[in-house]
Chain A
Amino acid sequence: MILEVVGLEAGYGPATVLHGVDLSVSEGEGVVVLGPNGHGKSTLLRTISGILTPRAGSLQFAGEEISAWRPDQIASAGLVHIPQGDALFGEMTVHDNLLMGSFVKAAWLERHERIERVYELLPQLKNRHNLVASNLSGGERRMLAIGRGLMTNAKLLMIDEPSLGLAPLLIEQVYEQIQSIKESGMAILLADENADHISGLADRVLLLESGLFVREGPADALLADEALLAAYLG
């Protein structure tokens, strides 16, 4: 087990969003959290990556309790979060954005090899490497965010709604890339609003509603149950 979440509670100000969530991800596994907007998917990922401090529960990553760690410590340990809306460094070039992915010492030493690999995997970034990130198109920005995630020494990649705001054609591409990342052996925890594109990368699916997991099961079984998905995701 690489990530083990037990009884996690978190929220903002007076509002509690997550009411005791259990979740685990094994090495190389693809886990997808499905749920409608505003039910706590982003809060879950933000709490795991340390941006939000959990109010209760335990977070274990690679055998260590990380619930009191700072975001940068968690990222250095290899738990990497690609947040919603890309969170790029807008005034830096594509190349520099990617390099920042390798900020952690160990990754920095291998940054040249890593960047070559990312350019190979996402060739459209290579063509744009000297462009400032804020001038990229929506699809390119998403690719850059994913590419930057790959520049890290991640053991587990958490991706928040990769399809948000993208044109259908680009969505296909993005999911294909994520799938190939997963096939290379990386564990993936993905949060999504709909089940349309995840069949290729999900081993397990969890349904999140009002800050609680209401269903959990192997991807093929759950994704086949269209009535269930329709009821939850609308």
Chain B
Amino acid sequence: MRLFWLPTSDETDMSQLLQAAWGGVLAGSVYGLMAIGLTLIWGAVRLLNLAHGALYVAGAYAAWIVIDLGMPLAVGIPAAVIAAGALGYGMHATIIRPMLGRPGWDSATIIATVGVAIALQAAILLVFGPRVKQIPAVIPGSTVISSVRISYQGLVIVLVAVVSLAALFFYLRSSRQGMAIRAISQHMDAAALMGVPVQRTYALVMVISAGLAGLAGVLLSSVLFLSPTSGFTPMIIALLVTIFGGLGSVKGTIVAAYLIGILESSVQVYLGGAWALPALFIFIIFMLIVRPSGLFGVPEARRL
């Protein structure tokens, strides 16, 4: 007697599973880059940056300009990071710095960042027009591993993302500035009393966060298409990841990014693409009811 009913494992099942796993790792890597930026800025400054998707798009367009000028993507990627980072610095100078410490911070910053998102998108639309663009792959071509097509570009994306995430993780864990970012997230006054320059650190966090959004933008736009509004869905998923991982927790966010990537990709493979987003939302709503403080359960006052 069989205790568990198992489907006979044939070729398609295996390849579906691999397909789902590979898609999940790929998506999870990019979501991780997006979400870690949101988490950092939320953890440090308590800013819900609804312009994160616009920064993603801005970075991708910066890379597109560079590539359009005939330079390789290897130049385009740093260009995206720098452009988005510069915009992030601008947001610090015009929004965070003047508004810090005012009452109504939560709502005012949500409005202000929505405004930035709209303005950036509209500006990009005015300059580049509504037509969809695509970023070329670093290495074109693909390989087939047990009937799953794995593009070299996908491998590059995963590699860049994993290296960036690991670098960020160690930067936050043991560098002087990185520790200061964590410290300021946990206790701003105490950090200042240890000599940490508060505003400059916030600017640094904003630049890192925006730069990561730009990086995610250029990477994902080489797989998906790029349009002035194509940052919206990645931002929503990054928000899901951030909340799922427990707002403000770096480790939780990285784990959550891959879990959500794999969940999304499995739903796509087994149920079809149209179900991916609804399934994610239902999953997250269920999780919020069961475990309101997220995967790594960071209660209110704790951060990063």
Chains A and B touch (C-beta atoms under 8 A apart): yes
- Give 1 or 0 for each of B183-225: 1 = CB within 8 Å of chain A CB: 1001101111111111000000000000000000000000000
- Cβ-based interface call for B303 (8 A): yes
Q: Are B192 and A100 in contact (CB under 8 A)?
A: no
- Given the interface pairs A99-B179, A100-B179, A100-B180, the reply to whether A90 lies near B194 with Cβ below 8 Å is no
User: Which secondary structure dominates where chain B touches chain A?
Assistant: helix
Q: Is A211 an interface residue when CB atoms closer than 8 A count as contact?
A: no
Which B residues form the contact surface with A (CB < 8 A)?
176, 179-180, 182-183, 186-187, 189-198, 301-304
Please state if B180 and A49 are interface contacts (CB–CB under 8 Å). no
Q: Which of A88, A91, A103 contacts B195 (CB 8 A)?
A: A103
Tally of A interface residues using CB under 8 Å = 28
Instruction: Name which residue of chain B comes closest to A111, CB basis.
Output: B176
Q: Which residues in A have their C-beta under 8 angstroms from that of B189? A: 51, 71, 83, 87
**Considering the chains assembled together, what is the distance between the CA atoms of A169 and B180 in angstroms?**
34
A131 to chain B, nearest CB (A): 15
Query: How far apart are the CA atoms of A73 and B192 in the complex, in Å?
Result: 9
Contact across chains for B193 and A81 when beta carbons are under 8 A apart: yes
Contact with B along A190-230 (1 / 0, CB 8 A): 00000000000000000000000000000000000000000
From known contacts A100-B179, A108-B176, infer whether A75 and B303 are also in contact, taking CB-CB under 8 Å.
no
Q: How far is the CA of A104 from the CA of B183 in the complex (A)?
A: 14
* With A51-B192, A71-B193, A76-B195 as contacts: A103 and B302 at CB distance below 8 Å: no
Contact between A92 and B195, CB atoms less than 8 A apart: no
The verdict on A101 contacting B194 (CB below 8 Å), with A91-B303, A92-B183, A108-B176 known, is: yes
Contacting residue for A83 out of B179, B193, B302, CB 8 A: B193
Q: Which residues of B contact A70 (CB under 8 A)?
A: 192, 197-198
Closest CB in chain A relative to B177 CB, distance in Å: 9
Question: With A70-B192, A91-B303 as given contacts, are A103 and B176 in contact (CB-CB < 8 Å)?
Answer: yes
Note all chain B residues with C-beta closer than 8 A to A134: 302
**Which listed residue (B182, B193, B197) contacts A92, Cβ 8 A?**
B182
- State which residues 73-95 of A face B: CB under 8 Å: 73, 75-76, 80-81, 83, 87-92
Contact A103 B186 (CB under 8 A): no
Asked if A96 CB lies within 8 Å of chain B CBs, one says: yes
What is the CA–CA distance of A76 and B195 in the complex, to the nearest angstrom? Answer: 5
Output the nearest chain A residue to B192 by Cβ-Cβ distance.
Answer: A71
Task: State the CA gap A100–B302 with chains docked (Å).
Answer: 18
Flag if B193 contacts A89 (CB, 8 Å).
no
Residues of B within 8 A of A183 (CB): none
Measured in the bound complex, the distance between the Cα atoms of B187 and A134 in whole Å is 12
- In contact, A72 and B197 (Cβ under 8 angstroms): yes
Most buried by A among B183, B195, B197, B302: B195
Given the interface pairs A96-B179, A103-B180, A108-B176, the reply to whether A90 lies near B195 with Cβ below 8 Å is no
**A88 cross-chain contacts in B, Cβ below 8 A:** 187, 190
Interface residues of A in 20-69 (CB under 8 A from B): 49-51
A103 cross-chain contacts in B, Cβ below 8 A: 176, 179-180, 183, 191, 194-196
